[in-house]
Every structure is written in C-alpha cells, then in structure tokens.
Amino acid sequence: MSRKFFVITKTPLRISFFGGGTDFEDFFRIYGGKVIGTTINKYLYVTIKNHDPLFNEKFRVNYSETERVNHINKIRNNIIRECLKLTKTKPPIYVSVVSDIPGHTGLGSSSSLAVGLLNALYAAKGISKKPRELAELACKIEIDKLKQPIGKQDQYLSAFGGFGILHFLKSGKVKIKRFKNKKIINQIFSNSIIVWMKQYRKAQSVLRNQKKNIRNNIEKLQKLNQISNSALSLFRNKNFNIKDFSNLLDKNWIIKKKLSKKISSQNNDKFYDLCKKNGVLGGKILGAGGGGFFLFTIDKSKKNKFFNFIKKFYYIKCLPSNKGTEVIYKKIF
C-alpha cells in the first residue's frame, strides 16, 4: 500500500449453546449440521497502520507477544501472517491486537482475529467486504490454508454478530438466521453466567482428536443435531422456560464430552456436579473444551447460594452483542 492508513476494527467474541461439532465439514457435508450461538459484549480490537521506516523493521506485530521482523514468513502468529498474505498487504505495517478476554479460553478469539484483521486490511484498501465474504475468507485461512481441525461456527458468528441459528448444508453452504425474540434472549442472558476455570488450553489438540473420531461419533453428532432442533422448538413456544432450555444444555454437554476424552476431565466433571448442587440448572464448557470458561444457567431461587459457592472464581455476566465485526475508525490519507 502506497497511501497512508490507520484503521481499527471491533469484532465480538461468542458463546455457543448447541450443536458444536456438527459444524465440521467431515460431518455436515454428509448429514448437515446446526449450531445455535450468540456473540457477546466482549470484543477483540485490531489496529493497523503504516509503520515508519525509521523503526528499521518491515513488520511489527503486537498481541500477547511482540514480533519485529523484516520478512512476512518470519511472522510466528500464523493467522496474522496468512491474513497479510491473502490480502497482499505490503510492508511496512504495524498490527496490534487487544482483546477484552485472553485467547485460549473458549470464546472463539482466533476466528474473531481472522475476521477482524481481514476487515481492517480490506478497509485500508478502500474495500468493504460483506460478513459472508469475511467469514468464508477466515475459513479459507484457518481451515484450508492452516489446516486447523475446526468447524465454521466461530467465523460466521463473529462476522455476522447477534443470536444466530447456523445451518450447515450438505452442499457446503452455510445459512445463518438471526433469532430476534428479545424476551427469550433476555431470559437466557439474565439467567446465565460464564465462569473461568483457571485453565488456558490449546484448542487444536482437543479438536484434532475430536475430528479424528468423527466417523466413530456419527450417532452422537446426530443426537446433537436433534437437541438443536429441540431448542428451536423451545424458541417457538410462547411459554419458553429457562429450565427446559437448561435441561437441553445439560443433555448437550453429556453427549458433547463423549466426542473426545480431551473435552472434559474428572476435575471439570466434579466441578460441574458441585455447581449443579449449588444452584446451576445446566451448562457446558465453551469452545473446544479442556478448560477455559464454563457456561451455566442458574436457578434464580438459588442465586445467593450459587454466588456464595462461586465467589473464589472469576465470572462474567455477559450481554448479547447484535453487531458483527465493524470498522470503528478509518483514516486514509
């Protein structure tokens, strides 16, 4: 890029309720898949700008680490490197990534980074990409180029934003439908909390094992699809009840953790059981599993009991975010 630019994007993180695992192409290309999830009011911010030649480095990349290199192939952060390559971005360039929540915690930050950085790089070129384009380009980088053993829910949720019902068709196409019933969404969020398990994890090892076992888990994955369909039936019910929703979360989690031995552990299972004895109605580990955040729905009549039990843990009361990735500042000169 010969012209000067300064761009900042804001991309939401996400939580998923049902259907995780059915968004792997190895499964949905044969059986179809369905995921129900939402973006939340926690965000990842990407800043890009021209880097002054006085720094004597062509690329400076800041995230949890700082990289100063003169050749694009020397960039260790593979998502940032491949986004720069895909968009044919020329140095010198400065890239900074700041997130409300650390990575490797199950909130989809890797895909939010891919979507948010692509959005910024194209904006710097004066190009406005649609959410679907950004989601597919992020999938191209993470799945096709980097061979990450992941599905497609995170890219689409972070690109589109909102409470989404994602249909993964046998044709390979992804259809996303926004669920807009504010009464039900507010009921879910007012009764939900995410609790930090004090354990970071690398999703790839968990997902690689899960992907490897897809052929042996067809029946379980089909049951997860059925649970997603049951959740949709709940959403259509005028008498939506958080307890029914929580029961489905519980059933989903029992099946989901059987997809791979790495998804949960004895300590996580013990913690979940203790939480259920102290006011939790249902829940699941967010993301790939193995650690990170637990999502819980709470019995309001036992709210004080639960918060007294959980007080030693870090927890967050989330709110829904209705917007996907967006450019919040752009100056081209």
What pLDDT, on a 0 to 100 scale, did the predictor assign at position 167? 98
Q: Pairing between strand 192-196 and 315-316?
A: antiparallel
Check residue 178 and give its pLDDT. Answer: 95
At residue 183, the 3 state secondary structure works out as helix
pLDDT in tens, the chain (333 residues): 468 999 999 999 999 999 999 999 999 999 999 999 999 999 999 999 999 888 999 999 999 999 999 999 999 999 999 999 999 999 999 999 999 998 888 899 999 999 999 999 999 999 999 999 999 999 999 999 999 989 999 999 999 999 999 999 999 999 999 999 999 999 999 999 999 987 665 666 676 777 777 888 999 999 999 999 999 999 999 899 999 999 999 999 999 998 888 888 888 899 999 999 999 999 999 986 767 899 999 999 999 999 999 988 999 999 999 999 999 999 999
Using the structure block, give the residue that is written with the tokens 């969020």: 189
Judge contact between 38 and 176, C-beta under 8 A.
Answer: no
* Cα–Cα distance, 231 to 31 (Å, whole number): 19
For residue 212, the model assigns a pLDDT of: 78
pLDDT of residue 1: 46
Q: What is the DSSP string of 59-116?
A: EEEESSSEEEESSGGG---HHHHHHHHHTTPPSSEEEEEEESS-SSSSS-HHHHHHHH
User: What pLDDT score was predicted for residue 213?
Assistant: 77
Helices 131-139 and 109-124 pack at an angle, to 10 degrees, of 120
Report the pLDDT value the prediction gives residue 318, as an integer from 0 to 100: 93
What pLDDT does residue 262 have? Answer: 80
Structure tokens at 203: 């999703």
Per-residue model confidence (pLDDT) at position 121: 98
Residue 210 host element (H or E): helix 203-212
Domains of the chain (ranges; CATH) run: 5-180+321-332 (3.30.230.10), 182-316 (3.30.70.890)
Contact 177, 195 (CB under 8 A): no
